[in-house]
Chains A and B, each alone.
Chain A
Amino acid sequence: MIYLRLLLLFFFALAICLIIFLSFYLFIRKIWRKEYGNWDRMIDMLLREAIFFHEADTGQLAIIPVTQRFQANLKNRRFYNRFVKKIIAAKRNVSGQYGDNLRNLYIQLGLDKKALRLLGSHKWHLKAYAIQQLGTMGLKEHLPRIYRYTNRKNALVRVEAQIAVLNLIGAEGLRFLDITSYQITDWQQIKLLKELSIIPQAELTGMDKWLSSGNSSVIVFALKLARNYRRYELYANIVSCLDHSEPNVRKEAILTLTDIYVENTSEVLLARFDGETYENQIAIMDAIAVIGDVQNVSTLFSYLDAGKAQMKFAVARAIVNGSANGLECLMNDPKSKTYPLTDMIPQLKNEIKW
């Protein structure tokens, strides 16, 4: 009985301790939340003032008024991080004089010097953070230092540096592709393409060189660029990528030819069908379905015997779209009366209708 009482007392004490701890934790959190709210308001107000701040008529840079309290708060690491995050986000959103004002505020507060100190750090995440800040703020004077990081071993430092050079000098910054020895991952490619999409009238030079790079990921990226920027003059270079040893490069070339094609592109792709991987064969059929212009549709019928339904459907779609009377040809073929083509044909008819 005494043990039971002791046990109950223990649990009771434990519950009291937990309640005290949680109350204390919630109290502290409430104070911090209030503090963060105040900080956010203070930061937003300064950034808004900076965005709409106009230079003095003297021609010299006017000083954006910053309160002493704000400057004192900047010594607090949490406040500093919050401010940097917000000024970077704001700079990404506004351009022209408004963006320049934010850059001036960043320099006025000495944050560029702080970023340069971080750039010299041994910790990769601090380096990446510094590169991101300098790139977004458009501090071109630091380009040579940032450019060196575009071929660094650490992937995050490397991608931040690559994005930063695009921010600093636009599409010309892509010249890091000439020398990069590391693979550019799909995620990096998406980030770079997104960055490029907001650069007005990106003038891309050197794409022919990238299409024959020794780094296969550079070729894949160059193929995506050729597709996005409709670089028809590179057609021959793109076709030569169909003979690359890596299947993912060949697949990207097929996808690019789906957008950049000439009269005989379907035939060029069809000639490579038998030697391709299953995935690339599907890509070829999908490309033919878009391009059309197949001289000899009967060649496609032989592929209808493929085992997998996915391939059958891709071939059937290529036949239907490959020539003007594709659907008629497919309907007249005895195979069209067999499963699964009996189920596929109504769907293809529907696609044509749309």
Chain B
Amino acid sequence: MRVLVAEDDELMLRTIEFRLKKDGHEVILARDGRDALQKVDEYEPDLIISDVMMPYLSGLEIVAAVKENRKTPIVILSGMGHEDMVLEAFRLGADDYLTKPFSPSELSVRIKRFAVINQR
């Protein structure tokens, strides 16, 4: 599966990349919201994993922009687990929401679920 990871923290970006590559996914990295949207158009990923707080465009803005004309599943990764934020993400069309601190293994399992749906 081709996965786009949008995260401004280099260490987290590399950590997620490492885990996903280990699971056999093709990984595309984006370091800010604008970069992420450009890469969505360029690579047409099967899944997007996005942080909320990022330069230029937030993760929620990415969800809104992508869901306008695509059905690509989006997993939101956020340090904010407040109910309002989670509800807003789902209202905009996010498919899953993981709160930091998160377990890379849990992320991996959740992605496998989308991979199964993608294969159907």
A interface residues with partner B (beta carbon < 8 Å): 40, 44, 47-48, 51-52, 86, 89-99, 193-194, 197-198, 228
Contact = CB atoms under 8 A, between A and B. Distances in A.
B110 interface: no
B55 interface: no
Interface stretch (B12-20, B40-48, B89-97): B12-20
Contacts of B11: 44, 47-48, 86, 89-90
20 contacts: A48-B11, A48-B14, A48-B15, A51-B15, A52-B19, A90-B12, A90-B15, A91-B101, A93-B9, A93-B15, A94-B103, A94-B104, A95-B101, A98-B104, A194-B80, A197-B80, A197-B81, A197-B82, A197-B99, A198-B99
Given A89-B9, A92-B79, A93-B9, A198 B15 contact: no
Nearest to B99: A198
Interface residues of B, number: 21
A92 B9 CA distance: 12
B66 to A, nearest CB: 23
Contacts of A90: 11-12, 15
Given A48-B11, A89-B11, A97-B103, 13 more contacts: A44-B14, A51-B15, A52-B15, A89-B9, A90-B12, A90-B15, A93-B9, A93-B79, A93-B101, A94-B103, A197-B80, A197-B83, A228-B82
A51 B104 contact: yes
B17 to A, nearest CB: 10
A230 to B, nearest CB: 9
A94 B18 contact: no
B81 A198 contact: yes
Interface string B71-86: 0000000011111000
A243 B119 CA distance: 61
A231 to B, nearest CB: 14
Contacts of B100: 92-94, 198
A198 B82 CA distance: 8
Contact of B18 (A48, A92, A93): A48
Interface centre among A52, A92, A95, A228 (most CB of B within 10 A): A95
Contacts of B99: 197-198
Contacts of A194: 80, 82
Contacts of A99: 101
Contacts of B102: 93-95
Contacts of B9: 89, 93
A293 to B, nearest CB: 24
B101 A44 contact: no
A193 B14 CA distance: 29
